[in-house]
A and B are shown apart, each in its own frame.
Chain A
Amino acid sequence: MANSGAPVQPPPPSPPKFKPYRHLKTLTGHSRAVSCVKFSNDGTLLASASLDKTLIIWSSSSLSQLHRLVGHSDGVSDLAWSSDSQYICSASDDRTLRIWSARPPFDCLKTLKGHAHAVFCVNFNPQSELIASGSFDETIRVWETKTGRCLNVIKAHSMPLTSVHFNRDGSLIVSGSHDGSCKIWDTQNGTLLKTLIDDKVPAVSFAKFSPNGKFILVATLNNTLQKLWNYSTGKFLKIYLGHQNSSYCIMSTFSVTNGKYIVSGSEDHCVCIWDLQGKNMLQKLEGHKDTVICVTCHPTENKIASASLDNDRTVRVWVQER
């Protein structure tokens, strides 16, 4: 029950002192594994998705439950916020995506149908007029937010997709897949621009552009590796080691509010925080009772939320000690 968590390694001597995070609150509400948790871009809301087929919107300040979004007929794997924090798009095993209004009356505005298999990952482009989704049917679909039309289907990989993410200006999509490859696509016409990794194993479990769109953070299912790539040169710059990840597609993220960190879940039930530059692990947050599948950082405050699987079913919120 040591919620405060103990620093694993002393922080590096130079840049801003790392203040350890401590447990603030545990959010219960899902009856199955929580698959995804994300702060809205304006920082006021937090949304979580679960295998119990529902999503819950929480207030990120009071951490109280505001609304439960019900409608999917199967578990929800991923969710994404529109840039203006008005809408949520959820990806479900029922082969559809749904666009929800994140403000009262919390309606489901659209159901995006087309994928031939479970939809695993979803993201809005920065202008939020497009949605990219990745599915077990091995395709990326690009949808128009306004009308819900599918604009493009990219036969992207030879195994299920694990992540799709737009860069800063929305011109590129990065995708990762169980086929072990990580590819970059032109959003406009769906053409392949670059293959970053093309190994059969390990599977690429997560890929995401850095906030400025210059680098890609890639996680692979071989227990140790989180790599930061410079995609234009095709070289990786940093490796972050020390967490456990061999079977789940764990979402990691950049923390930029107070110093620069990489934050990720781990299969040893911890949340791991690394120094971006030094690559050393700064803290392991303990408290979850199962694999931490997803972490999210508040856009302005030093706040982390993490979600955990079936033995735990909670979202935990962590804040930096003063």
Chain B
Amino acid sequence: MNAPIIDPLQGDFPEVIEEYLEHGIMKCIAFNRRGTLLAAGCADGTCIIWDFETRGIAKELQDKDCNAAITSVCWSKYGHRILVSASDKSLILWDVLSGEKIARTTLEQTVLQARLHPGSSTPSLCLACPFSSAPMIVDIISGTTTVLPVLISEAGNGIAPNARSKTPDGSTTYSPSTACFNKFGDLVYTGNSKGEILIIDHEKVQVRALVPVSSGSIIRNIVFSRNGQYLLTNTNDRMIRIYENLLPMKDAHKVLDELHETLDEADEVEKLKAAGTKCLSLVQEFQDSINRIQWKAPCFSGDGEWVISGSASRGEHKIYIWDRAGHLVKILEGPKEALMDLAWHPVHPLIVSVSLTGLVYIWAKDYTENWSAFAPDFKELEENEEYVEREDEFDLMPETEKVKESDVNEDDPVDILNVEKDSAFSDSDMSQEELCFLPAIPCPEVPEQQEKCVGSSSKLPDGNQSESPLSVEAGQNGHAANNASSPLEAMENSVAGETEGTRLKRRRRPSEKGLELQAEKTKKPSKTMKPSAFATQYIVGDDSGWNTEVDYYAWLEGKTFYVGDVLVFSYVKTDHNVAMVDASGYNNCNADSNYGLYDTGYDTFTLTTPGDVYFICTKAGSLCTRGWSSNLLICFLFGFSSRCRAVFSYVKGDHNVAMVDVAGCNNCNADSNYGVYDTGYDVFTLTAPGDVYFICTYHCDYADQKLKVTVQPSP
């Protein structure tokens, strides 16, 4: 709806982690059809429904009988029901609005992936892909299962080995297979271990077409795009293949039936293959030809224009984005945690990924406010344009100026009521009421639990500093390091059974505007927990952040830092940076230590070992450490007063340095009170704003070796 005023020049795919969701250990995720709610299955058997608008928890679905990890979640088409499969071999169907369990059924094997039938608003049929047997259609309410054929026997008639039986045929061994419904749910597309896509009419339990994947390797995933036009497969040969669906969306099974009548191949397998060529056509293959990465959780973007996939490599959180034409457009790199699940928001250019630690990362466009937003008559241009002004453009004609704006006919009728239908969803009949939002019920206040603001947080992509060897003057107690985001702690948190408000953590990457948000100092839990279990996060400078306005000595007053604590530096990216340095780096304003220099505007450092740690901003500092050649230097006088220095390093004996006043500078006279230094490395601390002059008494006269330093007061 806001499309008309969103800048068309910004990209269509996500670039950075905008925020992350934390609650227990999340394993798998699914958006509802409109992307307003996000369901996440947890390791403890709960299913969390996040309100994607507020990024807060809207509902928790928990069955007392199920505390095994959730393996998949699936929404019904209109969002009224959720199906979860758990590693205790159960399938549970939930009513979302009431939060009540509709049915639970237990199968012989753990289901890795369960999909609700998309044709109905209150589905009870689902497609379950068990750990190591053929996919089956399960009616959750009645508990009946129908095993689908997964291999075409050489004699092949395409009939399932043991149809409509409660138990799958144990005699045949299957490797894991994968399956999905087509858009209207009349056909099931199965990928098997022989590298074949079988198209199955699940009512007749009959294979209707077969499409061999060129390499013949095991199919790991098979996924339709949201509009049903494209299908992707992820195979063991490290390829993602995109197929175009040639069958019509509606009544595809009837078309297949007709197709079969026209085919006259004698051999059944040949006939199925011939039908297969009429069903799917390969359009694109993606792979990483250099690293040969195995793919994980590939899927389409909401509009089907992009294809994304995670890397299945351990210890990396990489998301590859291709356009459908096959160009790799972006690799998103997250923290060093394996990727578990991936989803693209149905409507917006947002990706949500689940990491091994159970966090859910939200990737979004790195939105920069464009200039045209700031004034009514600004316009964003794609390139420079030569502007020819009107003849009278700069004439002063106050009277006529007022008339110019009304190029709109004020009498045109306006329509303030009607809304166009959202084109993205126009394909389906809207006879059914859709459940997009859960009612937001303000939970009554527990005495003064008012959390001031969301707090505080760590930007993860590059701020994940848990390995950095440092800590701030700290750790008398020598606590063991404890990474705030470790799964262990997340678990502890949820077990601690605190009120929802404190348990639920929502982290947002701060925009410059939202810095105020960061004000909150992380609350220490009052429970009997050992303090070491809770890392405290300090926003350096609190509200004011990291800049020249703050007296950081005052800020440090009364604070004790422990190992595991996190320091957050938030600042205006263009004005400052932050470097962790050692004592000498600190004294010399020198960031050449091994810890690196950060300049993202929001950097976090986790304190990992006891001892002193120093942080400097080199933006101001570097100006102060120029050699003895430049003749104008501007220093910013830091809030932590005496930290601005002018450092003179020179060949001892060739030069010297003296701080002088204006007259001394003009007359090359060093007889002022400040003294002459000649050690080869002299440091002057600049304590007050104003102009300061330095000369080399040997060369001031004839070589003009003098320097004026203007110390700016804190801005």
A-side residues, CB < 8 A to B, are 82, 84, 86-87, 99, 107, 109-111, 113-114, 125, 127-130, 139, 144-155, 167-172, 184, 186-198, 210-215, 228, 230-232, 234-239, 254, 256, 260, 276-279
B-to-A contact residues, CB < 8 Å? 1-2, 4-6, 18, 36, 51, 53-56, 58, 364, 367, 369, 372-377, 405, 407-408, 410-419, 436-437, 439-445, 450-454, 500-501, 504, 506, 508, 511, 513-514, 516-517
Are A238 and B453 in touch, CB under 8 angstroms?
A: no
Smallest CB–CB gap between B496 and chain A, Å? 18
A–B complex contacts, Cβ < 8 Å, 22 sampled: A82-B440, A99-B442, A144-B440, A146-B443, A147-B442, A150-B453, A150-B454, A151-B508, A153-B517, A167-B2, A172-B2, A186-B2, A187-B53, A190-B511, A190-B513, A191-B511, A195-B375, A196-B376, A198-B375, A211-B417, A235-B407, A279-B410
Instruction: State A44–B1 Cα separation when bound (angstroms).
Output: 30
Contacts of A171 in B (CB 8 A): 1-2
Chain A residues whose CB sits within 8 angstroms of the CB of B407 once the complex forms: 235
Decide if A113 touches B514 in the complex (CB within 8 Å): no
B416 touches A153 (CB 8 A): no
Given the interface contacts A148-B442, A190-B514, does A237 sit within 8 Å of B414 by beta carbon? yes
Are A228 and B511 in contact, CB atoms less than 8 angstroms apart? Answer: no
Q: Give the CA-CA distance A69 to B372 in the complex, in Å.
A: 44
For the complex of A and B, list the 3 residue pairs with the smallest distance between their C-beta atoms, beginning with the closest: A232-B4, A210-B416, A129-B440
- Is there contact, CB below 8 Å, between B517 and A238? no
Q: What chain A residues lie within 8 Å of B506 (beta carbons)?
A: 149, 151
Q: Which residue of A lies closest to B452 (CB)?
A: A114
- Could you tell me if A146 and B410 are in contact, using CB atoms closer than 8 angstroms? no
Contact of B56 among A111, A114, A144 (CB under 8 A): A144
Query: Are A191 and B412 also in contact (CB < 8 A) when A144-B54, A232-B4 are?
Result: no
List of B residues within 8 angstroms of A277 by Cβ: 411, 413-414
Residues of B within 8 A of A197 (CB): 376
Task: Judge whether A212 and B2 touch: CB under 8 Å.
Answer: no
Name the residue of chain A whose CB is nearest to the CB of B51. A129
Residue of A86, A169, A215, A232 touching B5 (CB-CB under 8 A):
A232
Contact of A195 among B4, B373, B452, B514 (CB under 8 A): B373
CB neighbours of A155 from chain B (8 A): 513, 516
Contacts of A210 in B (CB 8 A): 414, 416-417
**A212 with B54: CB separation less than 8 A:** no
Residue of A nearest to B373 (CB): A192
Residues of A within 8 A of B440 (CB): 82, 127-129, 144-146
Task: Report the Cα distance A187→B51, complex, angstroms.
Answer: 14
Chain B residues, CB < 8 A from A214: 415-416, 419
Q: Say what secondary structure dominates the interface of chain B.
A: loop
Bound-complex Cα distance A109 to B372 (A): 41
**Smallest CB gap from A150: residue in B:** B453
* B376 engages A184 (CB within 8 Å): no
Q: Which residues of A contact B376 (CB under 8 A)?
A: 194-198, 234
Complexed CA–CA distance, A212 and B417 (Å) = 5
Q: Which residues of A contact B500 (CB under 8 A)?
A: 147
Q: Are B56 and A147 in contact (CB under 8 A)?
A: yes
Check B450 against A113 for contact (C-beta < 8 Å).
yes
Closest CB of chain B to A63's CB: distance in Å? 28
- Provide the residues of chain B in CB contact with A113, threshold 8 Å: 450, 452
Whole-angstrom distance between the alpha carbons of A211 and B58 in the complex? 27
B2 / chain A contacts, CB cutoff of 8 Å: 167, 171-172, 186, 193
Central interface residue in B18, B373, B377, B418, by most chain A CB within 10 Å: B373
Nearest CB in chain B: distance from A79 CB, A: 15
Residues from chain B with Cβ under 8 Å of A186 in the complex = 2, 367
Evaluate contact between A114 and B6: CB separation under 8 angstroms: no
| Residues A237 and B18 in contact, CB atoms below 8 Å apart | no
CB distance B416 to A254 under 8 Å? yes
Of all chain A residues, the one with the shortest Cβ separation from B516 is: A153
Known A-B contacts A129-B440, A130-B53, A146-B54; A192 and B416 likewise in contact (beta carbons under 8 Å): no
In the assembled complex, which residues on chain A have CB atoms less than 8 Å from the CB atom of B364? 189
Q: Report how far A109 CA is from B508 CA in the complex, Å.
A: 26
Contact pick for B58, options A146, A188, A276, CB 8 Å: A146
Q: Which residues of B contact A110 (CB under 8 A)?
A: 442, 444-445
> Nearest-CB distance from B552 to chain A (Å)?
24
8 other A-B residue contacts (CB within 8 Å) besides A144-B440, A151-B454, A256-B416? A145-B442, A146-B441, A152-B517, A196-B376, A214-B415, A237-B414, A256-B417, A277-B414
Measured CA separation A310–B415 after assembly (Å)? 37
Are A192's CB and B374's CB within 8 A? yes
Q: How far is the CB of B667 from chain A (nearest CB, A)?
A: 49
Q: Known: A153-B513, A195-B373. Is A129-B53 also a contact (CB below 8 A)?
A: yes
Enumerate chain B residues within 8 angstroms of A125, measured Cβ to Cβ.
53
Which residues of the partner chain B approach A213 to less than 8 Å between Cβ atoms? 1, 419
Which residues of A have CB within 8 Å of B417? 210-212, 256, 260
**Contact partner, A129, options B377, B437, B508, Cβ 8 Å:** B437
Q: Which residues of A contact B511 (CB under 8 A)?
A: 189-191
Which residues in A have their C-beta under 8 angstroms from that of B412? 237
Q: Which residues of A contact B436 (CB under 8 A)?
A: 127
Q: Which residue of A lies closest to B517 (CB)?
A: A153
CB distance from A70 to the nearest CB of B (A): 16
The residue among B442, B453, B500, B517 with the most chain A CB atoms within 10 A of its own CB is B442
Q: Are B1's CB and A167's CB within 8 A?
A: yes
Q: For residue A234, which residues in chain B have a CB less than 8 angstroms away from its CB?
A: 376-377
B413 to A, closest residue via Cβ: A277
Query: Do B5 and A238 touch (CB < 8 A)?
Result: no
Q: How far, in angstroms, from A16 to B377 measured CA to CA in the complex?
A: 38
Tell me whether B53 and A127 are in contact (CB under 8 A). yes
Question: In the complex, are the beta carbons of B56 and A149 less than 8 A apart?
Answer: yes
When C-beta atoms are compared, the residue in chain A nearest to B500 turns out to be A147
B53 touches A170 (CB 8 A): yes
